[in-house]
Amino acid sequence: MSIHGVLGESTSYPKTYHPKSLYAIPRQLGRDVILGQNKSRQLDTLTVGVDWWHAFEVSWVNPQGISQVALARFAIPATSPNIVESKSLKLYLNSLNFTEFTDWQTLEATITKDLSACVGATVTVSLFALAEAGSETGLLINQPQGRCIDKALEGQDIKIALTEHPDASLLGKVNAAGEISQDYQLYSDLLRSNCPVTDQPDWGTLAIEMSTTASVDEGKLLTYILSFRQHNGFHEQCVEQIFADLTDHFAPTKLMVRAWYTRRGGIDINPCRVSDLSLLPEPSRLIRQ
């Protein structure tokens, strides 16, 4: 099945409401690769979480024909069978620019219906007025929690090689820290992967919160994150790959992996996977978004 849709193609932007612009990509395409790497992995370990999308170029017209603008957040459950192709979402949102809606609630209901139909699950759509997008919305610039590991290799006589695909063996041998579980809260601003269709780079910040009896070597963890630099994978698939590899390697009792990817076309994508829904954090955005 093609994953291209309209991504990477020259397209004409619709000027009237066009829900057929939305293009679904089956999550299973990426998950089959992850599950095939280790036959003991279970699909349900990859389906606990949410993908938060932020759209900064939402516009439509009111009954007076006056353009309206808003910020939007779309929360797509990880249990949905599909994701939506990012360029197709941009085309869809642009098709609303000259479409009349009587009020914000009608627009919100329309987007909810169309996105939910595309991904095959209920999408939560929230619209925010620019003047009202305060701290309680998670749209103000935030900081990741924990310790940054980006300098963990400074002073070491090693050079990190470029790898074509993520390499979990770079996490090194697991050293037991004892019977007592340790809590880790770490992040890196050096996550990079490539769009599997256009080969364009995708940059992001990766955060990991984990409880495990194993000892985590921050330098090796950073090396593993850097192994994604030439990997072709959608944002959601990259986060699920990291979640699966950390689960296999450290056998954590609690695990959260989330990423804040930089904006493209007025849209940023922020996948989050957790070992339990009680660990799901609030949505937020970072300085590069």
Q: Report which secondary-structure segment, H or E, holds 59.
A: strand 49-61
CA distances from 285 to 66, 85, 146 (A): 29, 21, 16
Q: What is the DSSP track for 93-129?
A: HHTTTT-B-SSHHHHHHHHHHHHHHHHTSPPEEEEE-
Report d(CA 73, CA 124) in Å as an integer. Answer: 8
* CB-neighbour burial class of residue 117 (10 A; exposed 0-12, middle 13-18, buried 19+): middle
Which residue among the candidates 114, 189, 202, 245 is catalytic per the annotation? 202
Count of Cβ atoms closer than 10 Å to residue 253 Cβ = 13
Active site residue 276: no
At position 41, the amino acid (one-letter code) is: R
51, 114, 189, 195: which is the annotated catalytic residue? 195
233: CB partners within 8 A, 6+ apart: 30, 193, 194, 196, 241
Among the residues of 24-71, which ranges form H helices?
28-37
Contact 60, 101 (CB under 8 A): yes
Q: Which amino acid is at 96?
A: L
- The question of whether 202 is a catalytic residue gets the answer yes
* Distance from C-alpha of 222 to C-alpha of 160, rounded to nearest angstrom: 10
φ and ψ at 141, to 5 degrees? -65, 130
Residues designated catalytic: 195, 202
